[in-house]
Amino acid sequence: MDNLNVKKKEQELNRLKRDIQRDSQKERKLRTHYLIQKGALLESYFDIKDLSVDETEELLKELASTVKKIRGQNN
């Protein structure tokens, strides 16, 4: 009987590990989807398809201060 309880506990532990792993994968997929959507919006609105990642970062750095100022005025 003890051996059966140990097996059941091991099975339950394995099931919980799989559930955690599945949830983690789901969260990663959602974040990836979110980031792709944001990137696509940036490309579309700023017409930056031809810019490299570094060039895009520089553009966003330049725009960030302006956006922060505007947001500060609206609060």
pLDDT digits (tens, 9 = 90+) for 30-59: 999 999 999 999 999 999 999 999 999 999
8 Å CB contact between 59 and 51: yes
For 1-75, strand residue ranges (E) read: none
Task: Report the alpha-carbon distance of residue 70 to residue 75 in Å, rounded.
Answer: 9
At 18-30, the pLDDT tens digits run 999 999 999 999 9
pTM above 0.75, yes or no: no
